[in-house]
Amino acid sequence: MIALLTPRNFVVAALLAILVLIPVYAHSTGNFFLVTLFTRIIILAMAAVSLNLIMGYGGMVSFGHAAYLGVGGYLVGILAYEGYSSGFVQWPLALLVSALFAFVIGALCLRTRGVYFIMITLAFAQMIYYVGVSLSRYGADDGLTIYNRSQFAGLLNLSNRTFFYYLCFALLLGTVYLTWRLVNSRFGLLIQGARSNDRRMRAIGFPTYRYRLACFVIAGTICGLSGVLLANHTEFVSPAMMHWTKSGDLIVMVVLGGMGSLFGPVIGSIALLVLEEALPPIMNVIGGLVAGSAGARVGEYWQMVLGPMLLLVVLFARGGIDGILSNWSGFVQGVREGFANLRAGVGNLFASARRG
Amino acid sequence: MADALLQIDGLTKRFGGVVASDEIVLSVPAGELHAIIGPNGAGKTTLIGQLTGEIAPDAGRIQFEGRDITALPIHTRSRLGLARSFQITSLFLDFTVLDNVALAVQAHAGHSFHFWRDARSDPALREPARAALQRVGLTQRADVLVANLSHGEHRQLEIAMALATKPCMLLLDEPMAGMGPEESARMVKLLHELKREVTLLLIEHDMEAVFALADKITVLVYGRVIASGEPAAIRVNPEVRRAYLGEQEAVSSHG
């Protein structure tokens, strides 16, 4: 029997409801900043969901996942620049090329394990990054402005921000649904078995390499789609979108939200990107109250607050935010015990100080 | 000899200066329970590794059902019906007991490029898995996470997984290691039953169990076969007695 009304399900439902209502809220207030911000969040959440497929379920920690954001994005940018702005050309081609890149990169990287896998995926992503930097025809370092979003022969109008928002949202939900089907299928169980114990998987008769590669390609293709959306959203592509720090951001989203959980990466991307936006003003207000005008610029140092927050989640919540939510009572108890230990420890310290 | 299920000829493996397998010749006919014994470091696990394909031999040939499998990859050998259980328990700890066995069934149920259907409600995987669990007496524990099983139950599950792949031959690497007397007795009983269905190659330290179960015993010392024959003959073989009883002496004279 699966309980429906758990803290986790409640939070996920609330988040989805908020995501549905954001354009409504924007229309009623006339402030479209939130729509722009959350379109970006949704697109990156999709990339994080795809990374979670290989990292959380497959145990393949790719440190170069943002490369596919770049490949998908650049395909749209380059085709638009060369005069092919039809989405019917851009999108399938972008997915195909992302899949191709993932196939080649995966075929080589999956022969290695552990740290080597992390480093070699990073190396490939950096190679692609520098290819982007050297594309002088397409803006090189400065990037490339896209003057027309993908055209769908009048069927879809991506320039309508509300429509585009809901399109991204629908694609995110589609990706989560796809992941859900995948991880519970034979293919998905095999992938998770290979994460758990690859040697044993081969001993019972699975040629795991080809399945892991297939999984890697699926994830790369989905991330390529995120890149397509991101290019359409910002109407601009540049090598920066596939810099290794972006791959790091994606990993943080997955770990923060919860590796190997269905909605974890969605929660993680929302948490990370909302904090990035909200921390500076909040810190400014608090700083201003505490230290007057000098404290009102403390928001510039928001990363000094975000860093320890991430550290706490990694240290104390192995399953990320999703792990906390799905084992709420256990988490509360753990925190309580932690505090009790702390109090006892401090008490002992004082006692020994008094004695000594 | 011609109809041996497993035929090993001149199998040799060196690790640097150490000869772990020294021209091993071994033949196991279908239906036999063949035990391999030998002191620590005799190269028993290296031999199993070469049979399953995890270790590539330097020389020699392995034939299974008359087919040369020396160069085949691990998963192909498993598909041909050569299953193994691991000495150090090597299961999927974060899966349930039933999931573990169902994976083993899945490994032999065609390719796994099925992306959509829920594999956990697929009777083609679940039913053979339940049958294998029943075979080893773990039915009650089907939905428990493997990490929460006892050591003895891990070993039982190992065998259930090997059985679920419907092997012609089962390689058992110390199935009784670390077991209490009660668990050992249950395992001996289980192996006794399995013997009727599948050819077994058993590597085991528990001499009592080996002599009670085996049709034939091969003794391995420093990678060499020093004796091979019926349990009664092995028991009185002078060279075997020296290897076991005089182990201390042998080691000191080598060192």
* Structural domains of chain B sorted by starting position, each given as residue range(s) with its CATH number in brackets: 1-81+167-255 (3.40.50.300), 92-166 (no CATH)
Any idea where the domains of chain A sit in the sequence? 23-316, 320-356
Q: Which residue in B90, B117, B165 is closest to A185 by CB distance?
A: B117
Query: What is the structure's pLDDT at A1?
Result: 45
Query: What is the structure's pLDDT at B245?
Result: 62
Say whether pTM exceeds 0.80.
yes
Q: How far apart are CA A231 and CA A172, in angstroms?
A: 16
- 3-state SS, residue B74: helix
Q: Which residue in B75, B91, B161 is closest to A202 by CB distance?
A: B75
Q: How is residue B7 annotated by DSSP?
A: E
Query: What is the structure's pLDDT at B248?
Result: 47
Q: Which residue in A184, A199, A214 is closest to B120 by CB distance?
A: A184
Query: What is the structure's pLDDT at A181?
Result: 96
Query: What is the structure's pLDDT at A174?
Result: 97
**Strands, E, within chain A: which ranges?**
144-145, 236-237
Residues of B with CB under 8 A from a CB of A: 52, 54, 73-75, 78-79, 83-84, 86, 90-95, 99, 102-104, 106-108, 112-120, 122, 125, 161, 165
Of chain A, the percentage scoring pLDDT greater than 70 comes to: 99
Torsions phi, psi of B218, nearest 5?
Answer: -115, 135
Spans of chain B, pLDDT less than 50: 1, 248-255
Write down the mean pLDDT value for chain A: 92
Q: What is the mean pLDDT of residues A196-224?
A: 94
Indicate yes or no: CB of A214 within 8 angstroms of CB of B113: yes
Q: How far apart are CA A46 and CA A52, in angstroms?
A: 10
Is A209 an interface residue toward B (CB < 8 Å)?
no
Strand B33-37 versus strand B18-29 pairing type: unpaired
Query: What is the structure's pLDDT at A330?
Result: 81
Chain B residues within an 8 Å CB radius of A206: 75, 107, 112
**Host H or E run for residue B38:** none
Place of tokens 């692609």: A128
Is A189 an interface residue toward B (CB < 8 Å)?
yes
Query: What is the structure's pLDDT at B254?
Result: 45
Picking from A353, A101, A76, A94, the residue whose alpha carbon sits closest to that of residue A216 is: A101
Picking from B216, B203, B220, B223, the residue whose alpha carbon sits closest to that of residue B85 is: B203
| Smallest Cα distance from A281 to chain B, Å | 43
Indicate yes or no: CB of B118 within 8 angstroms of CB of A185: yes
| Smallest Cα distance from B95 to chain A, Å | 8
Q: What is the mean pLDDT of residues A335-350?
A: 84
Closest-CA residue of chain B to A260: B94
Given pLDDT bands bounded at 50, 70 and 90, which one contains residue A2? low
Picking from A241, A223, A236, the residue whose alpha carbon sits closest to that of residue A46 is: A223
Q: What is the mean pLDDT of residues A220-225?
A: 98
Task: Check residues B99 and A154 and name the one with the higher pLDDT.
Answer: B99
Indicate yes or no: CB of A190 within 8 angstroms of CB of B112: yes
pLDDT tens for residues A13-35? 999 999 999 999 999 998 889 99
**Strands, E, within chain B: which ranges?**
4-15, 18-29, 33-37, 59-64, 67-68, 82-85, 169-173, 199-203, 216-221, 224-229
Indicate yes or no: CB of A203 within 8 angstroms of CB of B118: no
Amino acid at A196: S
Query: What is the structure's pLDDT at B252?
Result: 45
**Under CATH, what is the fold of the domain A23-316?**
ABC transporter involved in vitamin B12 uptake, BtuC (1.10.3470)
Task: Check residues A5 and B29 and name the one with the higher pLDDT.
Answer: B29
Query: What is the structure's pLDDT at B241?
Result: 85
Query: What is the structure's pLDDT at B182?
Result: 86
Query: What is the structure's pLDDT at A4?
Result: 75
Given pLDDT bands bounded at 50, 70 and 90, which one contains residue A327? confident
pLDDT exceeds cutoff 60 at A237: yes
